[in-house]
């Protein structure tokens, strides 16, 4: 009888199911298990592009399969494909999009004050981390790069995204 009352009280308690006993994982591939996340350089400022099959052009040049950093030029007219900080290829960019709302938000005085507070707090935290020997806490910037083959035009489409900037380039076969 005591066992039945105890179980009923536990199951009727509203706080029992708020936090799961075991960590819950969604189905599918987790971010940390993807190769371009596991093997990318932690201090890299560029997204990692994974090329699965070698890319050949009509001139006999080849870009071998592997993991590459995808950088965009300062004038945003071409991509630079890097491997171990060495330039492998230059790829033309044909379309660029930048979030217009971000510029308005950056010019907002209240937002600037908030950024200064966050920078000051981050500086204090990093000083504490230095004392212990930990890596600095840096601001997260979303980065992504992908490549896909388009049969219609016989070219590879490269998609680049870093922060508020999106760009598309192409490699013609």
pLDDT single digits (tens) 78-90: 999 998 888 998 9
In this structure, are residues 145 and 49 in contact, taking their beta carbons and an 8 Å threshold?
yes
2, part of any domain: no
Domain of 143 in residue numbering reads as 31-172
pLDDT in tens, 5-22: 656 665 555 554 455 455
Beta strands 143-150 and 86-98: pairing type?
A: unpaired
Q: Give 160's Cβ-side CA count (13 Å radius).
A: 30
Could you give the strand order of the β-sheet that contains 143-150, starting from the edge strand earlier in sequence?
48-51, 66-72, 78-83, 86-98, 165-172, 155-162, 143-150
Q: Classify residue 153: in a domain, yes or no.
A: yes
Q: Is there a domain that residue 67 lies in?
A: yes
In the block, which residue shows the tokens 């760009």?
167
What is the per-residue burial (b if ≥16 Cβ within 10 Å, else e) of 130-165?
Answer: eeeeeeeeeeeeebebebeeeeeeeebebbbbbebe
Question: Is residue 105 in some structural domain?
Answer: yes
The model's pTM: 0.66
Q: How many other CB atoms are there within 10 angstroms of residue 27's CB atom?
A: 5
Residue 26 is assigned to a structural domain of this protein: no
Q: Are 163 and 141 in contact (CB under 8 A)?
A: yes
Decide: helix, strand or coil at residue 108: coil
Helix (H) or strand (E) holding 58, with range, is: none
Q: Phi first, then psi: give them for residue 140, nearest 5 degrees.
A: -80, 130
Is residue 14 in a domain? no
pLDDT top residue among 34 and 105: 105
Is 150 a member of any domain?
Answer: yes
In a domain, 77, yes or no: yes
Considering its fold, how many domains does the chain have in total? 1
What's the average model confidence in pLDDT over 34-49? 68
């Amino acid at each position: 009888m005591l066992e039945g009352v105890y179980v009923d009280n536990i199951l009727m308690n509203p706080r029992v199911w708020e936090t799961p006993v075991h960590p819950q994982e969604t189905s599918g591939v987790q971010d940390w298990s993807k190769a371009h996340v596991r093997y990318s350089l932690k201090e890299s400022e560029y997204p990692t592009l994974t090329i699965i099959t070698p890319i050949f052009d009509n001139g006999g040049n080849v870009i071998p399969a592997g993991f590459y950093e995808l950088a965009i030029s300062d004038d945003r007219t071409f991509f630079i494909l890097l491997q171990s900080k060495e330039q492998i290829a230059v790829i033309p960019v044909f379309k660029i999009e930048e979030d217009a709302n971000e510029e308005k938000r950056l010019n907002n005085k209240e937002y600037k004050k908030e950024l200064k507070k966050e920078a000051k707090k981050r500086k204090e935290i990093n000083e504490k981390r230095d004392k212990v020997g930990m890596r600095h806490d840096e601001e997260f910037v979303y980065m992504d790069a992908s490549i896909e083959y388009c049969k219609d035009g016989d070219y590879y489409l490269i998609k680049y995204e870093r922060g508020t900037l999106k760009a598309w380039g192409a490699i013609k076969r």
